Chain A
Amino acid sequence: MLEIKNLNATVGDAAILNGLSLSVNAGEVHAIMGPNGSGKSTLAQVIAGHDDYIVTDGSVRYDGEDLLVLAPEERAREGVFLGFQYPVEIPGVNNAYLLKAAINAKRRHQGEGEVDAFEFLQLAREKMKNLDMDPAFLNRGVNEGFSGGEKKRNEILQMVMLEPRLAILDETDSGLDIDALKAVAKGVNAMRSPDRAIILVTHYQRLLDYVEPDFVHVLSEGQIIRSGDKTLALQLEEKGYDWVREAASA
């Protein structure tokens, strides 16, 4: 589904990704781990299409098509979703309005009519219940005055409503208390399906106790230096990142 080859990307004058390659198939859950500054978030932003990040070499193909030529909104409508590490507060833009606009943008792209208002509300309420979210959040400004945990739950809500084919969750677990972490994990697990791929970008292995990945990759200085199964995450937790880095350079 996602085929990244020799990806090189810069932000400003800094080279952040230096020849990253990664292959993700439908039905798989990948965890990308790595220390701060290793390029995890840059990878997520490049896939989503942020124009501060310049791709200088390599390719990203999504279902065989060149993803990098698409505008961020086109990627979203094709089923790519980014859960932000720092979800943006947008005062005055109603949460329900954004959800509906997002769903309709995708439906229009697929040649479908707009979502029925009643069905939309019912679905949103049901999904919010699963995430332990107060339905009152629907009528608040997008992330406006939300706590860290509420913002992350809101990202997951958007994900489950939009039903992307490729979901990248950027440090969705950071700063969450255990209840919020469980709610987020529940949302992610509910999304697992044979025709969907999920990439979890994370610093800690904590989330992986609740969402079991098929593959774990370690990112360092803009490259994947080691890949393995879920046991790799446990080893990292135990031995730290230096251990992989030393092993890689040895």
Chain B
Amino acid sequence: MTSVAHELVEAAVDRLPVDALTPARKVALAQFATSGFPTVKDEDWKYTNLSAAIEVSNACLANALEFKSKASWTAEAKRAIDDVLENLDANWIIIANGVTALETLANAESLEVEGIHISRLSSGGAGSEIISDDPLTSFNAALLQDGLQVRIRPSAYESKPLGFLFFDNVQNGGLSQARIIVDVEAEANIDIIEAHVSIGSEPQFANTVVQLNVEERGRVAYVRLQDRAINHIQVGKLIVELHKDAEFDFASFDFGGSLVRNDVAINIARAGATAKLHGLYLAGDKQHIDNHTRVDHRVGPAVSREEYRGILSGRARCVFNGKAIVHDGADGTDAEQSNHNLLLSETAEIDTKPELEIYADDVKCAHGATVGQLDKSALFYLRTRGLGEDEAAQLLTRAFAARILTASPIESTHAYIGAKTDQRLDELITGVAP
């Protein structure tokens, strides 16, 4: 099946209540009707086949399941949620199966005092534009039951990180759409944690969109952590708009999921902005993790830095595509991107492509990619010191990942993400041991 049956999507959109999102849903539905889902014939989707996601979507939409606004959490669900909540200190908002859990909004009032204002997109969301500029953001906007608009004021500078926990437990038939719009006011400063966790053995497809707008001299540290169930599909897009002298410091971590596609699109709209992107993906047997990033340098001077690293084992398949576009007139752009991969098995595969498109004259740009295996001489050296083969491999892979872990911009997340990394590496290594 190459796409979702349109009449099913239309019927699902019609079942949603009439509210402030209705016009955006109609626009998005019309767009999606023409585009359908991307296929491997689309250059940006060459290596990532969404047919499994289409299957889940069709099954879910055909069942005409009702969207529930309150999830009843089983003990297993609670464990998965608490693992994040107890280990990462943040003001958490839980988005369960695409819908904001009402009880987590109970602290919205206290956040208001800290300079963080939260409203629902279904009730107008302070008039923010619902971006639907590609098939998946259109699919998301069309089927969006609700979402959040968050405004960060300068007085929020000393608040705890703001956490969005996207949790799915296949309660709504396995399809979820979530969207959050964050507006960071001029001079405001915020740490954001975006966490994705899911449970359940049935197929599941989550499609999330985060729009982030950073005004003049605003600063955002952003950590994205994805540890979904091993058979779940996750497609996410982070759309960032940077204004004058704005700073965006981002780190992305992928541990779970069967099919994962992350798009990060950064638009440097004004001079003086800085974007730093780091990513780490650890993929085991049959996992498919695709990271597409795009930085549009529309004006200069501005700086973008990007480094993604991946460790793959078994029949893992990963994709990296980092594109920096330096538009005509964006002189003084300074852009660097790199991608490094470690393959722990002969059957793992990485398709990597750092890309530069330069239409300005006075720019400084560099890019590079490497694919390698564990250094045999280093492995032997460690073994002659008494370390077992697995322990030596663990040490070397951890060292490879360390650059990203230490570069991650929210320090209070380091211990938890470091422990997750160790645990996942252990699984990858013992899984490939001869």
A residues bordering B, Cβ < 8 Å? 48-51, 71-73, 75-77, 81-82, 84, 87-88, 90-93, 97-98, 101-102, 105-106, 109, 141, 158, 162
Q: Is the CB of B378 within 8 A of A73?
A: no
Q: Which of A82, A93, A162 contacts B395 (CB 8 A)?
A: A93
Q: Which of B384, B387, B388, B400 contacts A82 (CB 8 A)?
A: B384
27 contacts between A and B (CB under 8 A): A49-B384, A51-B380, A71-B389, A73-B383, A73-B387, A76-B384, A82-B384, A88-B377, A88-B380, A90-B378, A90-B381, A90-B382, A92-B398, A92-B399, A92-B400, A92-B402, A93-B395, A93-B398, A93-B399, A97-B395, A98-B395, A101-B395, A102-B385, A102-B386, A102-B387, A105-B388, A109-B386
In the complex, whether B422 has a CB less than 8 A from a CB of chain A is: no
CB distance from A10 to the nearest CB of B (A): 18
CB distance from A47 to the nearest CB of B (A): 10
Measured CA separation A217–B403 after assembly (Å): 47
Q: Which of A50, A91, A105 contacts B387 (CB 8 A)?
A: A105
Measured CA separation A134–B386 after assembly (Å): 25
Chain B residues with CB under 8 A of A48:
384
CB distance from B280 to the nearest CB of A (A): 13
Chain B residues with CB under 8 A of A105:
385-388, 391
CB distance from A66 to the nearest CB of B (A): 18
Measured CA separation A75–B380 after assembly (Å): 12
Q: Is the CB of B381 within 8 A of A71?
A: no
Q: Is the CB of A162 within 8 A of B386?
A: yes
Chain A residues with CB under 8 A of B383:
49, 71-73, 76
Closest to B403 in A: A92
Q: Which of A77, A87, A91, A93 contacts B386 (CB 8 A)?
A: A77
Q: Which of A50, A98, A102, A109 contacts B380 (CB 8 A)?
A: A50
Number of interface residues of B (CB under 8 A): 22
Closest to A101 in B: B387
Q: Is the CB of B399 within 8 A of A90?
A: yes
Interface contacts (Cβ under 8 Å), in number, total 74
In the complex, whether B20 has a CB less than 8 A from a CB of chain A is: no
User: Assuming the A-B contacts A77-B386, A92-B403, A105-B387, are A87 and B396 also in contact, with contact meaning beta carbons closer than 8 angstroms in the complex?
Assistant: no
Q: Is the CB of B384 within 8 A of A72?
A: yes
B interface secondary structure, majority: helix
Chain A residues with CB under 8 A of B387:
73, 101-102, 105
Q: Is the CB of A106 within 8 A of B402?
A: no
Closest to A164 in B: B386
Chain A proximity mask over B372-412: 1 for CB below 8 Å, otherwise 0: 00010110111111111101100110111011000000000
CB distance from A9 to the nearest CB of B (A): 16
Measured CA separation A101–B381 after assembly (Å): 13
Chain A residues with CB under 8 A of B380:
50-51, 72, 88
Chain A residues with CB under 8 A of B395:
93, 97-98, 101
Chain A residues with CB under 8 A of B375:
88, 90
Chain A residues with CB under 8 A of B385:
73, 76, 98, 101-102, 105, 158, 162
Measured CA separation A51–B377 after assembly (Å): 11
Measured CA separation A48–B383 after assembly (Å): 9
Chain A residues with CB under 8 A of B396:
90, 93
Chain A residues with CB under 8 A of B402:
92
Measured CA separation A91–B375 after assembly (Å): 11
Closest to A104 in B: B386
Chain A residues with CB under 8 A of B381:
84, 87-88, 90
Interface centre among A51, A82, A90, A98 (most CB of B within 10 A): A90
Chain A proximity mask over B340-383: 1 for CB below 8 Å, otherwise 0: 00000000000000000000000000000000000101101111
CB distance from A183 to the nearest CB of B (A): 21
Measured CA separation A109–B386 after assembly (Å): 9
Q: Which of B384, B391, B400, B403 contacts A101 (CB 8 A)?
A: B391
Chain A residues with CB under 8 A of B388:
73, 105
Chain A residues with CB under 8 A of B382:
90, 93, 98
CB distance from B394 to the nearest CB of A (A): 10
The 4 A-B residue pairs whose C-beta atoms are closest, nearest first, are: A92-B399, A105-B386, A76-B386, A72-B383
Interface centre among A84, A91, A92, A141 (most CB of B within 10 A): A92
Q: Is the CB of A106 within 8 A of B399?
A: no
CB distance from B355 to the nearest CB of A (A): 27
With A93-B395, A98-B395, A101-B395 given, can you name 8 additional A-B contacts, CB distance below 8 Å?
A: A73-B383, A76-B383, A76-B385, A88-B378, A90-B399, A92-B400, A98-B385, A105-B387
Chain B residues with CB under 8 A of A49:
383-384
Closest to B383 in A: A72
